[in-house]
Amino acid sequence: MTSTAARPRILITRAIFAEVAHRLSEHFEVESNPDDADWGREEIARRLRDKAGALTFGLERIDAPLLAQCPALKICANMTVGYNNFDLDAMTAAGVLGTNAPDVLTETTADFGFALLMATARRVTESEHYLRAGKWTRWNYQMFSGAEVHGSTLGIIGMGRIGQAIARRAAWGFGMQVVYHNRSPLDAATEADCRASYLGKHELLKAADHVMLVVPYSASSHHTIGAAELALMKPSATLINIARGGVVDDAALALALREKRIAAAGLDVFEGEPRVHPDLLTVPNVVLTPHIASATAGTRRAMAMLAVDNLIGYLVHGKAVTPLNATGLAVRS
């Protein structure tokens, strides 16, 4: 345990498991947010001014203007795998390490991606709304007829850890033909394990019965799926986004769904979330969930504990577990 005289100060920006805050308190002086108050940018900057580290949740923008107000800051540890809230260039210039939480949510997120695919293809949400509204009075052979999942073609855009976990579920569990697009093809052994073959993006969109997006958000992945890409998809196809908001042009997707240019979509992430494009709320052929792909108690605890490991590792022992810009900081020093 770090001596009280030398304990760095840490900010936890949102409510978190009690055991996470307790473990941090064994090493640091901790300011937490147990009420889960919605601190704005100015409030976060004010609270960070005297802090050496922060446990962040992928929502807090850490950029040059904020860093200029936080001279003591040395590390921001996201408990998410995504880190598009970090301006890593600005953080490196300010001597601040960024970390994320890869690996621990891979299988849980892949499970949810497949759950969202199944719910979308088989019209689960649409049929439940119908039942709850009291509209189900008799059976009909065409009632809520959906798309086949087993034996169909799944196209995965973004073939990292999560994409590969989804591919294995699809190929080995459901006998699906898996095609994928990535910045570069996988090695032959990984392709064989996933039973997946590489296609260009346009070829994938034309071939797939179901398209699953698992790419990180960046300037280059902004609107990976827009009106032009939707026009390439089969009218019977479904689109699933468990990646990040902004990877899909939500306005273009809502229009394509309304005009039935694709059959359905399943979305766990949205542009400008938690705001959802209003047109998506008025079309029946979309399944909407509030960014919960990693939401199991065990996985969320593991994500938070990895962020804790990064804070303790860096501030107490001098080495983080999953650094994002350690090389840049080393060059800078």
- pLDDT one-digit tens code per residue, 50-92: 999 999 999 899 999 999 999 999 999 999 998 989 999 999 9
Model pTM score: 0.91
Which of 123, 244, 277, 300 is labelled catalytic? 244
Which of 47, 161, 291, 301 is labelled catalytic? 291
Give dist(CA 80, CA 58) in Å, integer: 6
Token pair in block for residue 64: 């040059």
Cβ atoms of 168 and 194 closer than 8 Å: yes
Residue matched to tokens 């047109």: 279
Token pair in block for residue 124: 């689960």
Report, as an integer, the average pLDDT of 292-310: 97
3-state SS, residue 108: helix
Cβ atoms of 71 and 53 closer than 8 Å: no
Place 318 in a pLDDT band, splitting at 50, 70 and 90.
Answer: very high
Percent of the chain with pLDDT over 70: 98
Indicate whether 121 pLDDT > 70: yes
Cβ atoms of 196 and 156 closer than 8 Å: yes
Residue 237: exposed, middle, or buried by beta-carbon count in 10 A (0-12, 13-18, 19+)?
buried
Domains of the chain listed by start with CATH number: 4-103+297-332 (3.40.50.720), 106-288 (3.40.50.720)
Sheet of strand 264-267, all strands in order from the earlier edge strand to the far edge: 196-198, 177-181, 153-157, 210-213, 238-241, 264-267, 286-288
- Is 291 a known active-site residue? yes
Q: How far is CA 146 from CA 115, 128, 142, 169, 304, in A?
A: 15, 14, 9, 20, 38
Which of 29, 107, 203, 273 is labelled catalytic? 273
- Is 273 a known active-site residue? yes
For 216-269, write each residue's pLDDT tens digit: 988 899 999 999 999 999 999 999 999 999 999 999 999 999 999 999 999 999
